[in-house]
Structure 1
Amino acid sequence: MTTLLIRAARVIDPASGRDETADIAIDNGTIADLGANLDAAAADRVIDADGLIASPGLIDPHVHLRDPGQERKETIATGTAAAVAGGFTTVCCMPNTAPAIDTPTTVRGVLKRADETAACRVFPVAAGTVGRKGEAPTDVWGLIKAGAVGISDDGDVIASAGMMATVLSLVAEVGTVFMQHCQEPSLTRGAVMHAGAVSTRLGLIGWPRVAEEIIIERDIRLVAVGGGRAKYHVQHMSSGGSVDLIRRARDAGLPVTAEASPHHLLLTDDLVAGESGQAFDTHAKMNPPLRERSDVDALRQAVADGVVTVLATDHAPHTPDEKAEPFEDAPFGIIGLETALGGYATALVETGAIDWPRLIALLTIEPAKLCGLDARGLGSLVVGGPADVTLIDPTTKWTVTEDDLAGRSRNTPFLGMELTGRAVATIVRGKVACSRHQAASSA
């Protein structure tokens, strides 16, 4: 007996090159069959997906679930509720928690809480240095063995070149990936937004592009000096100059990748000045900051050219009280899981930069490969594989409201914005975790 049948979807699976109208039969948490005209009478439930895309479950390799220690902002339960509302079936959570995810015990604790409360799959990314202080390396092998899928001090950079070289060596030995938050701290002291004409006009301390670029350039050289053995990934790339550095590194054959986030592909620093709403809106304050139109264009081109191989939200919840502080004092960060797919489609597909199959690759098999999740069958749709599926309406236009936000926090600059493309059903381990799609029936 088939538990669930998805009927007449446009099945896009970049991992296998599949792009065709087909049915998907799901049973016992796995894909039982995939093809045309499967037997609907044998299914407990049928979803009519005519006009929809059926994608492998979306994967976000960069989210902040704030658990442990910052549950007032988000929890594993609320953060994964936001994830499935946005079409994500897997998220990788960052280690800037309290305490930091820097021991095998804390990794196992996150996995245990996820097993008990999460609406989707959760994999921790563990810290590269003890306490994320940049002073002593963690037990990288022990962290990966405990279940971490990558290493990062995200929220902070590893500022010491010597320590960075040590961590890269450990990452290479274990065969995992290091994800860098690229920010030279001495160049960003007191900075709250991009350094440019807008920051000058507003009288705010600016955050120069070079603060990101100098770390990327340093780390690429360290990867090269280490023989190109360590996988190195740039998080939330924001600068056109950074794009050039990543392009050259990849052309040289180094194992260097980079991600882009929805806000850096859609928004500019004009938002801080109130061009589209309220001036000094703290929902326009994030790290790295929104930059200029030339940077947005460079990032979109980087996605089109294959320089950016992964898309990630950097979902960063904060409480309303924190974001109600004056602009200079409010914390950096915005949420993104619920709005990401529409943001990406609006920025990249609607503009003609890429097509839907490429967008889906950037959200499925590419992040799966980055974190080694492809070895677990994630990021693809194959018979016998995990039944993680996202159903997408690629043409629907929708305006973001607070009712669309399923997590604990509301700190997004996308409220009131019209986006194109949306997840209408999210299936995790063969079960519908979230649905706004009405065309379903019982067989």
Structure 2
Amino acid sequence: MPRPILIKNARVIDPASGIDRVADLALREGRVADIGEAPPFDDPIIVDAEGLIACPGLIDPHVHLREPGQEHKETVLSGSMAAAAGGFTTVCCMPNTSPTLDSPEVLSFLAERAQDARCRVFPVAAATVGREGQLPSEIALLARAGAVAFSDDGDAIASAGVMRQVLGLVRDTGRAFMQHCQEPTLTHGAAMNAGEIATTLGLGGWPAIAEELIIERDIRLNSGIGCRYHVQHISAAGSVDLVRKARGKGLPVTAEASPHHLLLTDEACLGFDTMAKVNPPLRSMADVEAVRAGVADGTITVLATDHAPHAAHEKDADFGSAPFGMIGLETAVALYHQALVETGILDWPRLISMMTVAPAALCNLDRMGLGKLVVGGPADVTLIDPESAWTISTDDFAGKSANSPFIGREVGVRPVATIVGGELHAGRLGARVKEPAPQ
């Protein structure tokens, strides 16, 4: 059983209950014991949190942990270390592994690996067998085996007939379907956003309509089915408009935004910088502004990193053959703050809500008490220093990979610790932590 923890004088922000005040937070036996005036404990670990934010443990519903099959890029353990360094207490991992997360046996393997993780790890199972888009996987069985959502992430389900089947099957489990929105016949051979820069670099262009067509098709297919439908890593202005209109009609459609689509444009690809090669691609400033506007007006409700590690030798290739993807767990809080809080789009409570309440609801984790601070609920807490200037460096990465286009960027906030089920991962707290004296 973990030792009691007393967090003193933190700015406690819990969007689920509307709490936003300086208070003490008491944790005992892996649960929240009190918020406010903390009760006396025998020999607690005391954290001096003056000037820090204490919030529900952050949740990332879209990460790639690469295990099984690609352990040279990341493992469940190393990915969980990256998550803890970035302030996340829960991650949901995508099924594009080898073998695919499409059977109870592979989900059981993942659960075994997660026992040693530094955060909670939940599987998003493949919606089709082998992620091949041809035959629905055993969706009901996978839900009973622990899948918190379904996706063929990395690919869209191209067949409308298969997609319609999947929507009905996923609906019956009460889970959400997460779509990687990419019409494959429009993106074959593409390496970056279609536009002037792609033409200048002589690279295949990836049009925004490839994303928009899948969203529009799926919204229509889902009419009358009512599956919870989630757009992953939304990147294009037209896509935001489609989601906005669907939500305006009361349809069960949600969307997520990743840090890079809120901060970077396709200009980052100049010089053939493979660190900026990502799927979906970085787009125009108009698209960035549209994604930000979608966050501002509530069209986009979830923030998710799409943490996609690759080994250095894989990214050290020509732009056309280098893999898509960038890491995001360790830098997400600082980058979201820079894109959304420093610009006046969000305040701290709403930013935290999009990283706790919303992803918990998306993946049914709210039923486990995650995403909120409530007496008797899980003692999952993130501590953030809102006044910590630092420059992103490879030294800050706890995972196996360092494929980030943000290296060298100056940022102004930083997670300093996580608590998972009452276990303190002190991170950068230093002298703020006072252990009980030995007996």
Scaled by the length of structure 2, the TM-score of the pair is 0.97
Asked if residue 219 in structure 1 is aligned to residue 218 in structure 2, the reply is: yes
Structure 1 contact 223–254 (Cα < 8 Å) conserved? no
The one-letter code of the counterpart of 2:14 is: D
The one-letter code of the counterpart of 2:32 is: I
Structure 2 contact 139–170 (Cα < 8 Å) conserved? yes
Structure 2 CA distance, aligned partners of 1:285 and 1:264?
Answer: 12
Q: Counterpart in 1 of 2:434?
A: 441
1:60-139 matched pairs, under 5 angstroms: 60-115=60-115, 117-139=116-138
Structure 1 contact 400–419 (Cα < 8 Å) conserved? yes
Structure 2 contact 4–41 (Cα < 8 Å) conserved? no
1:93-242 matched pairs, under 5 angstroms: 93-115=93-115, 117-226=116-225, 229-242=226-239
What SS class does the counterpart of residue 223 from structure 2 fall into?
helix
Q: Counterpart in 2 of 1:309?
A: 301
Question: Which of 381, 404, 422 is the aligned partner of 1:430?
Answer: 422
Structure 1 contact 60–91 (Cα < 8 Å) conserved? yes
Q: CA RMSD in A?
A: 1.2
1:190-339 matched pairs, under 5 angstroms: 190-226=189-225, 229-273=226-270, 279-339=271-331
The Cα of 1:420 is off from its aligned counterpart by 2.1
What SS class does the counterpart of residue 389 from structure 2 fall into?
strand
Structure 2 CA distance, aligned partners of 1:182 and 1:259?
Answer: 12
What SS class does the counterpart of residue 125 from structure 2 fall into?
coil
Distance 1:332 1:2, change over 3 A: closer
Structure 2 contact 66–74 (Cα < 8 Å) conserved? yes
Q: Counterpart in 2 of 1:23?
A: 24
Question: Which of 378, 384, 397 is the aligned partner of 1:405?
Answer: 397
Structure 2 contact 255–302 (Cα < 8 Å) conserved? yes
Q: Counterpart in 1 of 2:366?
A: 374
Structure 1 contact 193–269 (Cα < 8 Å) conserved? yes
The one-letter code of the counterpart of 1:160 is: S
Q: Displaced runs of 4+ in structure 1, greater than 3 A?
A: 39-43
% identical equivalent positions: 60
Structure 2 CA distance, aligned partners of 1:18 and 1:304?
Answer: 21
Structure 1 CA distance, aligned partners of 2:180 and 2:426?
Answer: 32
The Cα of 1:43 is off from its aligned counterpart by 4.2
Structure 1 contact 24–35 (Cα < 8 Å) conserved? yes
The Cα of 1:271 is off from its aligned counterpart by 0.7
Structure 1 CA distance, aligned partners of 2:20 and 2:356?
Answer: 15
Structure 1 contact 5–43 (Cα < 8 Å) conserved? no
Question: What number of residue pairs does the alignment pair up?
Answer: 434
Structure 1 CA distance, aligned partners of 2:334 and 2:127?
Answer: 33
Cα deviations by residue, 1:85-104 (Å, 9 ceiling, x for unpaired):
00000000000000100011
Structure 2 contact 391–411 (Cα < 8 Å) conserved? yes
Structure 2 CA distance, aligned partners of 1:84 and 1:43?
Answer: 25
The Cα of 1:434 is off from its aligned counterpart by 4.1
Structure 1 CA distance, aligned partners of 2:107 and 2:377?
Answer: 26
Structure 1 CA distance, aligned partners of 2:86 and 2:92?
Answer: 15
The Cα of 1:196 is off from its aligned counterpart by 1.0
What SS class does the counterpart of residue 395 from structure 1 fall into?
coil
Structure 2 CA distance, aligned partners of 1:334 and 1:137?
Answer: 29
Structure 2 contact 13–349 (Cα < 8 Å) conserved? yes
Q: In structure 1, list runs of 5 or more residues that go unmatched.
A: 274-278
What SS class does the counterpart of residue 230 from structure 2 fall into?
strand
What SS class does the counterpart of residue 125 from structure 1 fall into?
strand
What SS class does the counterpart of residue 126 from structure 1 fall into?
strand
The Cα of 1:323 is off from its aligned counterpart by 0.3
The Cα of 1:41 is off from its aligned counterpart by 6.5
Structure 1 CA distance, aligned partners of 2:171 and 2:72?
Answer: 36
What SS class does the counterpart of residue 342 from structure 1 fall into?
helix
Q: Counterpart in 2 of 1:276?
A: none
Scaled by the length of structure 1, the TM-score of the pair is 0.96
Structure 2 CA distance, aligned partners of 1:174 and 1:162?
Answer: 19
What SS class does the counterpart of residue 396 from structure 1 fall into?
coil
